[in-house]
Amino acid sequence: MVYPENFEQKIGFDKIRELLEQQCISPLGVKHVERIRFEAGHGAVQEMLNRAEEFRQILLSGKAFPNSGYFDLTNELKRIQIKGTYIELEWLFDLKTSLQTINACLKYFDDAEDGLYPQLTALTEGMEPQEGLLKEIERIMDDKGEIRDSASSALKEIRQKLHRKQLSIDGRIRKSMQEARKAGLVPDDAEVTIRSGRMVIPVIASGKRQLKGFIHDESATGQTVFIEPTEVFDLNNE
């Protein structure tokens, strides 16, 4: 225990810690800096100085060290330990990126000349590249963070059905638009548009009862209503 309790404030150590926090590139780094306390032991201080010097040499070497992809997954990894829970897509992508970064860091020190960075290399002791887990995540997730169609046969089938359904919806709404145009129910320059996430036809208010469907919206003037044809509405609600 350091005495007095405000010793760090008296010598400005707290300001140094704040400056370090500003240079951190991840929440994990900030948490680590927050735990740093004034150290008077010669051995411990020398060890930290050696680590700092080794990293300075890395920066001077020009050989880029992995400097991105550091995420704090602590809470999420704890949460999914509960039976019946699963990792959210966003967190799975962060986990994938984190594993890639960890592997890159381990490879960096493995490829370095023996004895070049002993203090930093010691920090990686006991760590193993999680290649199996990373490959499994990469099998189901692409580089954009989207689940691949090939992730499972069931997912592939579902997406194919949805794609066919969307093509059917597109075809029917276009056909309804052509029929409404021929009947003089839509303005000459009107096109199919989107309202409330649905494809709709802009219909002249006076003709709204001639096109069967669900009214999603109307223009500010009230002269145009936006209708989703019944057959398209039914398809969307399947």
Report the pLDDT averaged over residues 151-180: 91
Tokens of 167: 């093509």
Token pair of 206, please?
């006076």
Coil, strand, or helix at residue 227? strand
HSE-CB at 201 with a 13 A cutoff on CA atoms is 34
Sheet (strand 198-204) strand order: 193-195, 198-204, 224-229, 213-218
Mean pLDDT over 147-174 rounds to 91
Which has more pLDDT, 19 or 1?
Answer: 19
Percentage of residues in the chain having pLDDT higher than 70: 99
Residue-averaged pLDDT of the chain: 91
pLDDT at 1: 60
Residue 4, preceding peptide bond in cis (omega within 30° of 0): yes
Question: Domains of the chain by range and CATH?
Answer: 39-148 (no CATH), 154-236 (1.10.1420)
CB atoms closer than 10 angstroms to residue 206: 10
